[in-house]
């Protein structure tokens, strides 16, 4: 029931954010749209703890902030290396330990790696993640294990 309430809140907030009109007709369309979406999601059995990890709702914001900072820092690093006349780009494939223990944690880890400029996740197993790193700094950042540790602290 908690997941249904949370999904309802998110859908209503999203609808209002996108429409930002409060006429009876538009609100009626919004209610109908949210009701239909909820009905279909429940009928398809999509509303559960895996599709809506409520336990992450508060803690994930800190991870997103950290990841946003990492994306900015990595973007600057890759730009600096690529535009440098010394051509300090040293691509290589590395393997790091897959520290998250859940499927959601592994997905978040692999996607976070790929989202960060200079690194791309190539293969994921429950034990190892193979990634391509464009620079030595990017490879060192992945090998440090900080990203995996942060995801692990989320309980994943």
- Summarize pLDDT for 59-84 with one digit per residue, the tens: 788 889 999 999 999 999 888 888 88
Which two three-digit tokens encode residue 88?
A: 């300090």
CATH tag for 58-153 (out of 2.60.40, 3.40.1130, 3.30.70, 3.30.160): 3.30.70
CA 64 to CA 17: how far, in whole Å? Answer: 21
pTM confidence score:
0.69
Strands of the sheet with 128-133, listed across from one edge: 92-97, 128-133, 119-124
Domain residue extents for the chain: 2-43, 58-153
**pLDDT score, position 22:** 87
Could you read off the pLDDT of 17-75 as tens digits, one per residue?
888 888 999 899 999 999 998 898 888 887 776 666 555 667 788 889 999 999 999 99
């Amino acid at each position: 029931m908690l997941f249904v309430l949370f999904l309802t809140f998110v859908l209503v907030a999203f609808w209002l954010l996108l429409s930002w009109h409060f006429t009876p007709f538009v609100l009626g369309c919004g209610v109908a749209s949210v009701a239909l979406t909820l009905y279909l999601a429940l009928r398809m059995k999509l509303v559960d703890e895996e599709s809506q990890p409520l336990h992450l709702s508060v803690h994930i914001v800190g991870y997103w902030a950290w990841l946003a900072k990492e994306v900015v820092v990595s973007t600057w690093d890759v730009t600096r290396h690529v535009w440098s006349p010394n051509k300090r780009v040293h691509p290589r494939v590395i393997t790091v330990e897959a520290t998250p223990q859940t499927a959601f944690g592994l997905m978040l880890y692999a996607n976070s790696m790929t989202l960060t400029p200079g690194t791309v996740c190539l293969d994921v197993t429950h034990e190892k993640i193979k990634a391509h790193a464009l620079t030595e700094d990017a490879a060192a950042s992945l090998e440090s294990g900080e990203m995996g540790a942060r995801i692990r602290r989320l309980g994943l």
